A and B are shown apart, each in its own frame.
Chain A
Amino acid sequence: MLGMPDDIWVPIKLTIELATISTLSLLVVATPLAWWLARSKAWFKEAAATVISLPMVLPPTVLGFYLLIALGPDGPGGAIASLWGARTLAFTFSGLVIGSIISSMPFVVQPIRNAFAAVGDRPLEVASTLRASPTRAFWTVALPLASPGLLTGAVLGFAHTVGEFGVILMIGGNIPGRTRVMSTAIFDFVETMRWREANLLAGGMVAFAFAVILAMILLEKRFTRAGA
């Protein structure tokens, strides 16, 4: 594909698939969570926010270790996997998605939470005086006004998943075509001293990260200027 040998192209394709699916799933999970964090007055709210942020500070090996147990036959993952006759969610693409979601969650929740908080109470009060139920107000007022934050969260989540190494290493099993993503492929190339391939992939990742972050900065500028 694209003139690249399989052992380079397949990890790239897998990485993009993983990042895309993880990011979309993250948006679905993180948005209501961020909404709750932005607006709730529950006493345990900040404790919950801290738990969600833990993956940012925990070493990936720690995170990966607990994920391994959680995804396996001794944890909920095993129970779910048994529904289709498997024993574990580790070593599967779905397992990687779950791992990516957990490890990238803080990077997605934070900007969305900030965006919802910035919306404030007023637009929603206005909406309620205009016959909008809380649900309608969320979809037609809060979400559109917070959309720059969602975009930032999506970009960060995507970029973080692409770069995720430690967690994937712990639960992936490095299966070609299934869980051998770019980061683990680079690891292999380095171990076998195939510097050319390693540089190719690594260089590509650096270029990608640069493009993503630059795009995000420029987009944010454009959005905040327009919304001021």
Chain B
Amino acid sequence: MTASHAIRAEFRGTIGKFALDAGFTAPAKGVTALFGPSGCGKTTVLRCIAGLLRINGVCEIDGEVWQDENGAFLPTYKRPLGYVFQEASLFQHLSVRRNLLFGAPRHDRSGIKGGIVFDEVVELLGINRLLDRSPRNLSGGERQRVAIGRALLSQPKLLLMDEPLSALDRATKNEILPFLERLRDHLNLPVVYITHDIAEVERLADQMVLMEKGHVIGAGPLEELQSDPSLPLAAARDAAVSFEGVVQASDEAYSLVTLKIRGGSLTAPAPPAPVGERRRIRVIAGDVSLTREAPGPSSILNVLPARVVSMKPVDSNEIIVVVALGADGDGARLLARVTRKSSEALGLSEGVGVYAQVKAVALAPGRGELG
């Protein structure tokens, strides 16, 4: 029970035929993603945290006990939380403005330090011109933004989001993600965010809780979970790792940006970016190949020394190799998907020094590129 864990949730019980036995802790600030396949219990856990569903368990937020093993249970309306549902669920009989203010406290506490201000939220979410409209006349993306604003204006201490982007098409999703990133950066609020889309996790989340069939099978920083070979993430066909890098230099002539990461640096195609800017980087396992010796001139820009950390067979003829960058193997971890044949031919095993050739690096849009 360290102070850094602001959220503690554990639930054990059966709902119909579904058995849930899941628990996790999450920090006081930042986005914790609840991730897993459909039906694994993510929504059930979220509803338990919110008090919309009651099963045996413990739920503590920032020292406040919302539920404990001795029968204490705070009803939902007494919990200072915000909840964003998958389908906006705006009140049809109220205008956007009145929807937004529905949960806002009677006495304007937004002036209190740290309080969430109406105008700020409206600006952050870009919903200014929608204020006097009826929810019926909004697009899916607009509705969801209003729903998020409504949850925020109730001055929550915890924000719960249940697949807020799942019901939207790709274009709308990409339109809203920047808003969510801005929210994360501006607000001092813990968020538990459910999604089944790893891209959303990579863009938004700092921590991840991985669930499967009602159980938590992994929890921790995203990087760690992605490069853990015992978890299903690493074994997936589109397995990837994502981590943060700091912009070191921009090459305008060739439209390349170089970023410093733990254990080395990566160059990626991107418009010029200010030095020192933090950017999220994504490297797909299938884009990483390995050699035992430093390769000669090659079209691949990124060749980094690394050390093999672990190996795990997937399918009948491939192996996922986890390598840590840097000659000592202390740096960021990458996944490489190689054939068993190659692996044996190269004599790969734990601790062996290799060179990781990263064919493609994806960069999340920088501040200057955000809408």
| Interface 0/1 of B47-58, CB less than 8 Å to A | 000111000000
- Measured CB to CB, the nearest residue on chain A to B88 is A126
- Measured CB to CB, the nearest residue on chain A to B92 is A227
Assess A132 versus B91: contact at CB under 8 Å? Given A122-B85, A125-B52. Answer: no
Assess A128 versus B85: contact at CB under 8 Å? Given A144-B93, A145-B93, A227-B92. Answer: no
- B75 in contact (CB, < 8 A): yes
Contact B154 A130 (CB under 8 A): yes
Chain B hits for A122, CB < 8 A: 85, 89
Contact A131 B93 (CB under 8 A): no
- A129 in contact (CB, < 8 A): yes
Chain B hits for A228, CB < 8 A: 136
Which residue among B51, B76, B89 has the maximum number of chain A CB atoms within 10 Å of its CB?
B76
Chain B hits for A145, CB < 8 A: 91-93
Assess A130 versus B52: contact at CB under 8 Å? Given A144-B93, A145-B92. Answer: no
CB proximity of B157 to chain A, nearest CB, Å: 12
CB proximity of B127 to chain A, nearest CB, Å: 17
Chain A hits for B150, CB < 8 A: 130
- A123 in contact (CB, < 8 A): yes
Alpha-carbon distance between A61 and B76 when the two chains are bound, in angstroms: 50
CB proximity of B289 to chain A, nearest CB, Å: 49
Alpha-carbon distance between A216 and B51 when the two chains are bound, in angstroms: 40
Select A128's contact among B52, B80, B92, B136, beta carbons within 8 Å: B52
* Total cross-chain contacts (CB, 8 A): 54
- A82 in contact (CB, < 8 A): no
- Measured CB to CB, the nearest residue on chain A to B82 is A129
- A133 in contact (CB, < 8 A): yes
Alpha-carbon distance between A130 and B80 when the two chains are bound, in angstroms: 8
Alpha-carbon distance between A4 and B74 when the two chains are bound, in angstroms: 65
Instruction: Determine chain A's interface SS by DSSP, over half rule.
Output: helix
| Interface 0/1 of A1-23, CB less than 8 Å to B | 00000000000000000000000
B residues 74-90 touching A (CB-CB < 8 Å): 75-78, 80-83, 85, 89
- Measured CB to CB, the nearest residue on chain A to B50 is A129
Contact B76 A141 (CB under 8 A): no
Assess A131 versus B154: contact at CB under 8 Å? Given A126-B85, A145-B93. Answer: yes
- B115 in contact (CB, < 8 A): no
- Measured CB to CB, the nearest residue on chain B to A133 is B77
CB proximity of A221 to chain B, nearest CB, Å: 17
CB proximity of B134 to chain A, nearest CB, Å: 9
Alpha-carbon distance between A14 and B77 when the two chains are bound, in angstroms: 47
| Interface 0/1 of B341-357, CB less than 8 Å to A | 00000000000000000
Chain B hits for A130, CB < 8 A: 102-103, 150-151, 154
CB proximity of B94 to chain A, nearest CB, Å: 8
Instruction: Determine chain B's interface SS by DSSP, over half rule.
Output: loop
Alpha-carbon distance between A122 and B368 when the two chains are bound, in angstroms: 39
| Interface 0/1 of A112-129, CB less than 8 Å to B | 000000000011011111
Contact A126 B93 (CB under 8 A): no
Number of interface residues of B (CB under 8 A): 23
- A203 in contact (CB, < 8 A): no
Alpha-carbon distance between A125 and B75 when the two chains are bound, in angstroms: 11
- A173 in contact (CB, < 8 A): no
Contact B89 A123 (CB under 8 A): yes
Chain B hits for A126, CB < 8 A: 83, 85, 89, 91
- A134 in contact (CB, < 8 A): yes
CB proximity of A151 to chain B, nearest CB, Å: 14
Contact B103 A132 (CB under 8 A): yes
Chain B hits for A227, CB < 8 A: 92
CB proximity of B190 to chain A, nearest CB, Å: 16
- Measured CB to CB, the nearest residue on chain B to A145 is B93
| Interface 0/1 of A123-160, CB less than 8 Å to B | 10111111111100100110011000000000000000
Chain A hits for B82, CB < 8 A: 129
Alpha-carbon distance between A137 and B91 when the two chains are bound, in angstroms: 11
- Measured CB to CB, the nearest residue on chain A to B87 is A122
Chain A hits for B80, CB < 8 A: 131
A residues 180-228 touching B (CB-CB < 8 Å): 227-228
Chain A hits for B83, CB < 8 A: 126, 129
Chain B hits for A141, CB < 8 A: 91, 93
Chain A hits for B151, CB < 8 A: 129-130
- Measured CB to CB, the nearest residue on chain B to A125 is B52
Select B103's contact among A125, A129, A134, beta carbons within 8 Å: A129
User: Contact residues of A with B, CB < 8 Å?
Assistant: 122-123, 125-134, 137, 140-141, 144-145, 227-228
16 pairs from A and B in contact (CB 8 Å cutoff): A122-B85, A127-B77, A128-B51, A128-B77, A129-B52, A129-B77, A129-B81, A129-B154, A130-B102, A130-B154, A131-B78, A132-B102, A133-B77, A140-B102, A145-B93, A227-B92
User: Contact residues of B with A, CB < 8 Å?
Assistant: 50-52, 75-78, 80-83, 85, 89, 91-93, 102-103, 105, 136, 150-151, 154
Q: Which 3 A-B pairs have the closest CB atoms?
A: A130-B103, A129-B83, A128-B76
- Can you name 9 extra interface pairs (CB under 8 A) apart from A122-B85, A126-B85, A129-B50? A122-B89, A123-B89, A125-B52, A128-B51, A129-B77, A129-B151, A129-B154, A145-B93, A228-B136
